[in-house]
């Protein structure tokens, strides 16, 4: 099944990209692909939870964890799990062709669950859907990366290692490397169509989608100076209980679901099973091109059970040292705005924007580029 689906998706992709290639002048971004070694010291937790080693396990896990957070995810904790390792993180740095007004600003974009860095750099009609292109065309540099356990980044133990505390330190580590001007010199350059750019930003804007926005918010609670501004998109901060309500969609054990694509994923990694699941979660009828649903299926990424487990035990603490502007940019009106505002008590400005006719995944929605304009104008209006 999955193979047929990916073939269909792939031909749709080809048809679209060929159709698109003659169209609009695309942005001449200059990009370099990097493998960044990121040292991490973090304290994860061990959780008592079912193993996921088949699709039957994955569905059973879904049913079981739906009852986790009541009364408390903490009840599942069986001990601490210290992490002290260096992880290989695959990243893409894109810069504009020449220096401009924004050349001292770096955006760092973190994708949500189910995606890797391609979420921010959609390859179909990039002039309409790629956030990277939109940012570069305004003169920003932008770093996108595959979260631990996704894309071309390292895929360690899905239970004890791939958890929020570790992912927060990876984001902090990448940011600190970029700020110190050592990102490229400390990485392995995997590919570059242009001379490798110099980078030493004086300002950083953190951009995140959903779980990625959650990581940024936890990170800013710990390290307020990690950003000069933040754009939190698709941030479903209603209640952690609701975030864990995964009974509405189906997961499959990644390696069983598609041994070709996901052969290197071990126990504890599952993936959204069907295009229908992806549609329910990410898209809204009338506001996406069917080829973008097929594309979302083609680029979908596994999730680690440890990510879900650690959501219930990673509370958001006030970002006491963060003083920049925050844009809460959402395609659907379901987040608890007060809870988010409470985190950003010292932010110079907190603005929420509801992007019309858009589901949870903003970058694959029809009107994506108009939304990017709103985001980039917001940053510009705050000197970023
Ligand atoms: C992490 O490991 C390194 C060397 O392996 C060691 O020098 C360092 O003290 C460790 N850090 C912590 C916090 O355990
Ligand atoms: C979140 O869930 C808890 C426990 O189920 C409940 O007591 C609380 O009222 C909920 N909070 C919100 C903001 O819905
Ligand atoms: C926050 O920023 C937006 C965009 O620049 C602006 O329109 C709004 O007035 C600001 N809010 C406050 C309270 O200053
Ligand atoms: C597209 O997005 C822009 C920016 O949010 C909004 O002003 C416009 O109404 C949207 N268009 C449609 C058709 O939803």
Confidence at 26, pLDDT banded by 50, 70, 90: low
Nearest CA to ligand 4 atom 3: 370
pLDDT of residue 237: 54
If you search the block for the tokens 């059970």, which residue do you land on? 305
- The pLDDT of 277-286, averaged and rounded, is 88
pLDDT tens digits, residue range 137-170?
999 999 999 999 999 999 999 999 999 999 999 9
Confidence at 331, pLDDT banded by 50, 70, 90: confident
**Residue 307 CA: distances (Å) to CA of 235, 267, 358:** 16, 14, 26
- The pLDDT of 130-140, averaged and rounded, is 97
Distance of CA 295 to the CA centre of its chain: 17
How far, in Å, from the CA of 145 to the mean position of ligand 2?
Answer: 33
Which domain CATH number covers 294?
3.40.50.1820
How far, in Å, from the CA of 41 to the mean position of ligand 1?
Answer: 8
pLDDT at 231 over 70: yes
Question: Comparing C-alpha atoms, which of 2, 213, 21 is closest to residue 123?
Answer: 21
**Residue 226 CA: distances (Å) to CA of 81, 158, 210, 219:** 25, 27, 19, 8
Q: How many domains does the chain have?
A: 1
Confidence at 195, pLDDT banded by 50, 70, 90: confident
Asked whether 328 lines ligand 3 (CB < 6 A), one says no
For the chain, give the percent of residues with pLDDT over 90.
69
Q: What's the predicted TM-score (pTM) here?
A: 0.89
- The pLDDT of 12-33, averaged and rounded, is 54
Least confident of 181-190, 212-221, 281-290: 281-290
Report H helices in 245-313: 254-257, 275-282, 290-299, 305-311
Asked whether 357 lines ligand 4 (CB < 6 A), one says yes
- The pLDDT of 326-338, averaged and rounded, is 79
pLDDT tens digits, residue range 310-325?
987 888 889 999 999 9
**291-325 CB burial, b ≥16 within 10 A, e <16:** bbbbbbbbbbbbbbbbbbbbbbbbebeebeebebb
Side-chain-side CA neighbours of 169 within 13 Å: the count stands at 19
pLDDT of residue 235: 82
Full domain range(s) for residue 155: 4-381
CA atoms of 199 and 181, how far apart (whole Å): 6
Asked whether 84 lines ligand 1 (CB < 6 A), one says yes
Nearest CA to ligand 1 atom 14: 84
pLDDT of residue 17: 37
Give DSSP secondary structure letters for 174-219.
HHHHHHTT-TTTTSEEEEESSPPPP---SEEEEEEETHHHHHHHHH
Residue 364 carries which DSSP code? G
pLDDT tens digits, residue range 59-90?
988 888 776 654 567 788 999 999 999 999 99
How far, in Å, from the CA of 182 to the mean position of ligand 1?
Answer: 21
Helix (H) or strand (E) holding 97: none
């Amino acid at each position: 099944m999955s193979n047929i689906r990916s073939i269909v998706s792939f031909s749709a992709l080809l048809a679209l990209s060929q159709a698109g290639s003659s169209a609009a002048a695309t942005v001449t971004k200059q990009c370099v692909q990097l493998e960044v070694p990121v040292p991490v010291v973090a304290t994860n937790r061990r959780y008592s939870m079912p193993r996921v080693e088949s699709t039957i396990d994955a569905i059973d896990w879904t049913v079981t964890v739906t009852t986790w957070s009541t009364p408390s995810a903490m009840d599942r904790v069986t001990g601490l799990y210290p992490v002290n390792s260096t992880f290989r993180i695959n990243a893409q740095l894109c810069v504009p062709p020449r220096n401009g007004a924004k050349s001292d600003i770096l955006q760092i974009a973190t994708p949500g669950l189910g995606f890797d860095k391609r979420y921010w750099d959609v390859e179909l009609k990039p002039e309409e859907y790629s956030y990277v292109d939109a940012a570069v065309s305004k003169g920003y540099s932008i770093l996108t990366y595959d979260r631990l356990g996704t894309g071309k980044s390292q895929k360690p133990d899905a239970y004890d290692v791939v958890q929020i505390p570790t992912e927060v330190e990876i984001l902090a580590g990448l940011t600190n490397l970029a700020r110190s001007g050592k990102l490229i010199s400390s990485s392995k350059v995997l590919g570059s169509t242009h001379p490798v750019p110099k980078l030493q930003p004086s300002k950083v804007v953190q951009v995140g989608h959903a779980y990625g926005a959650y990581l940024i918010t936890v990170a800013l609670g710990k390290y307020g100076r990690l950003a000069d501004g933040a754009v939190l998109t698709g941030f479903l901060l209603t209640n952690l209980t609701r975030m864990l309500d995964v009974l509405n969609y189906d997961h499959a054990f990644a390696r069983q679901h598609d041994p070709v694509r996901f052969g290197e994923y071990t126990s504890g990694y599952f993936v959204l099973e069907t295009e229908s699941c992806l549609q329910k979660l990410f898209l809204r009828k009338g506001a996406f091109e069917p080829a973008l649903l097929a594309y979302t299926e083609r680029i979908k990424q596994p999730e680690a059970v440890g990510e879900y487990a650690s959501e219930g035990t990673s509370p958001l603490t006030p970002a006491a040292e963060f003083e920049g502007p925050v844009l809460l940019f959402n395609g659907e009106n379901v987040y608890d705005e007060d809870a988010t505002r409470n985190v950003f008590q010292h932010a110079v400005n907190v603005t929420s924007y509801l992007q019309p006719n858009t589901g949870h995944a903003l970058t694959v929605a029809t009107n994506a580029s108009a939304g990017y304009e709103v985001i980039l104008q917001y940053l510009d209006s705050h000197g970023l």
